[in-house]
Chain A
Amino acid sequence: MSIAKHPAGERRLYMGNEAIARGALEAGVSVAAGYPGTPSSEIIETLAKAAKDADIYVEWSTNEKVAMEVAAAASFAGLRSLCIMKQNGVNVASDFLLHLAGSGTRGGMVLVPCDDPGALSSVNEGESRHFAKMVEVPLLEPADFQEAKDLTKWAFTLSEELRSLVFVRSVTRLSHASGTVVPGEIPAPRRDAKFTYNGFILDPMEGPVMSAPVTFKHGQQQEKLKRAEEIFEDSPFNTYAGPDNPELLVIATSACWLYAREALRMLNAEGKAGLLKLATTWPLPRKLVKKHLAAAGKVLVLEEVLPFTEENVKVLAQEAADEIGHKPILGKRDGHVPMTGELNPDLAADAVAKALGAQVPEVDPDYKTKAGQYAFFGAPNRDLTFCPGCPHRASFWSIHNTLAADGREGFVCGDIGCYSMAVLPSGFSTLKTLHSMGSGTGLASGFGKLGPFGLNQPVMSVCGDSTFFHAALPALVNAVHHQSDITMAVLDNSGTGMTGFQSHPGLPTDALGNEVPAIDIEAVCRSLGAEVRVTDPFDLEKTQQTLHELLETKKGVKVLILRQACALSPQRKGKKDFDMEVDAALCRGEDCGCNRLCTRIFRCPGLVWDATAGRARIDEVICAGCGVCASICPAGAIIKKPVSAQAA
Chain B
Amino acid sequence: MQILGPTQLYEDVIAKGLCTGCGACVGLCPYFVTHRAKTSMLFPCDREQGRCFAFCPRVELDLDEVSRFVHGAPYSGEPLGTHRQVLLAQAKGLSGSFQAGGTVSALLCHALQTGAAGAAVVTGQKDGLPDPRVATTAEEVLSASGSKYGAAPVLATVNKAIASGTRDLAVAATPCQAAALAQMGMNPLGREDFMAPASLVIGLFCTWAIDARSLAALAAEHLSGKAATRMDLPPPPSEILVLETGGRRVEVPLSEVRKLVPAGCLCCPDMTAEFADVSVGVVEGEPGWNTLIVRTQKGADLVESAIAAGKLETREPEAEAAAHLSRAAAGKRRRAFARAREQGLLNTAEGRASLRVDEQVAEKILTEES
Partner-B contacts on A (CB < 8 A): 400-401, 404-407, 428, 548, 552, 590, 592-595, 597, 601, 632, 634
A552: B residues at CB distance < 8 A: 36
Whether the Cβ atoms of A592 and B41 lie closer than 8 Å is no
Q: Pick the contact of A634 from B30, B47, B51 — CB < 8 Å?
A: B30
Distance in Å from the Cβ of A594 to the closest Cβ of chain B?
Answer: 6
Is B40 interfacial (CB-CB < 8 Å)? Answer: yes
Partner-A contacts on B (CB < 8 A): 28-31, 33-36, 38-43, 45-47, 49-52, 189, 191
B189: A residues at CB distance < 8 A: 592
Distance in Å from the Cβ of B72 to the closest Cβ of chain A?
Answer: 28
Whether the Cβ atoms of B29 and A594 lie closer than 8 Å is yes
Distance in Å from the Cβ of B50 to the closest Cβ of chain A?
Answer: 5
Q: How far is the CA of A407 from the CA of B41 in the complex (A)?
A: 9
Whether the Cβ atoms of B28 and A400 lie closer than 8 Å is no
Q: How far is the CA of A552 from the CA of B52 in the complex (A)?
A: 28
24 A–B pairs (Cβ distance < 8 Å), ordered by A: A400-B42, A401-B33, A401-B42, A405-B33, A405-B34, A405-B35, A405-B42, A406-B36, A407-B38, A407-B39, A428-B43, A592-B47, A592-B50, A592-B51, A593-B28, A593-B191, A595-B29, A595-B31, A595-B45, A597-B29, A597-B30, A597-B43, A601-B43, A632-B30
Whether the Cβ atoms of A593 and B43 lie closer than 8 Å is no
Given contacts A404-B42, A592-B50, A592-B51, 15 further A-B contacts (CB under 8 A): A400-B42, A401-B42, A404-B40, A404-B41, A405-B33, A407-B39, A428-B43, A590-B47, A592-B47, A593-B51, A595-B47, A597-B29, A597-B43, A632-B30, A634-B30
B33: A residues at CB distance < 8 A: 401, 404-405
Whether the Cβ atoms of B28 and A405 lie closer than 8 Å is no
Whether the Cβ atoms of A407 and B47 lie closer than 8 Å is no
Distance in Å from the Cβ of B223 to the closest Cβ of chain A?
Answer: 18
* Nearest A-chain residue to B29, judged by Cβ: A593
Q: How far is the CA of A194 from the CA of B146 in the complex (A)?
A: 83
Q: How far is the CA of A594 from the CA of B51 in the complex (A)?
A: 11
Q: How far is the CA of A632 from the CA of B42 in the complex (A)?
A: 13
Distance in Å from the Cβ of A604 to the closest Cβ of chain B?
Answer: 15
A590, A592, A593, A595: residue with the most chain B Cβ atoms closer than 10 Å: A592
Which 5 residue pairs are nearest across A and B when measured between Cβ atoms? A405-B35, A407-B38, A407-B40, A404-B42, A592-B50
Q: How far is the CA of A405 from the CA of B42 in the complex (A)?
A: 7
Q: How far is the CA of A548 from the CA of B35 in the complex (A)?
A: 9
B42, B46, B51: residue with the most chain A Cβ atoms closer than 10 Å: B42
B40: A residues at CB distance < 8 A: 404-407
B41: A residues at CB distance < 8 A: 404
* Nearest A-chain residue to B47, judged by Cβ: A595
Q: How far is the CA of A428 from the CA of B49 in the complex (A)?
A: 24
B50: A residues at CB distance < 8 A: 592
* Nearest A-chain residue to B14, judged by Cβ: A407
A401: B residues at CB distance < 8 A: 33, 42
Contacts A407-B40, A592-B49 given; does A634 touch B29 at CB 8 Å: yes
A593: B residues at CB distance < 8 A: 28-29, 51, 191
Q: How far is the CA of A457 from the CA of B221 in the complex (A)?
A: 20
Q: How far is the CA of A590 from the CA of B45 in the complex (A)?
A: 10
Q: How far is the CA of A428 from the CA of B191 in the complex (A)?
A: 30
B35: A residues at CB distance < 8 A: 405-407, 548
B42: A residues at CB distance < 8 A: 400-401, 404-405
B45: A residues at CB distance < 8 A: 595
Q: How far is the CA of A406 from the CA of B34 in the complex (A)?
A: 9
A404: B residues at CB distance < 8 A: 33, 40-42
Q: How far is the CA of A552 from the CA of B37 in the complex (A)?
A: 14
Distance in Å from the Cβ of B159 to the closest Cβ of chain A?
Answer: 11
Whether the Cβ atoms of B36 and A592 lie closer than 8 Å is no
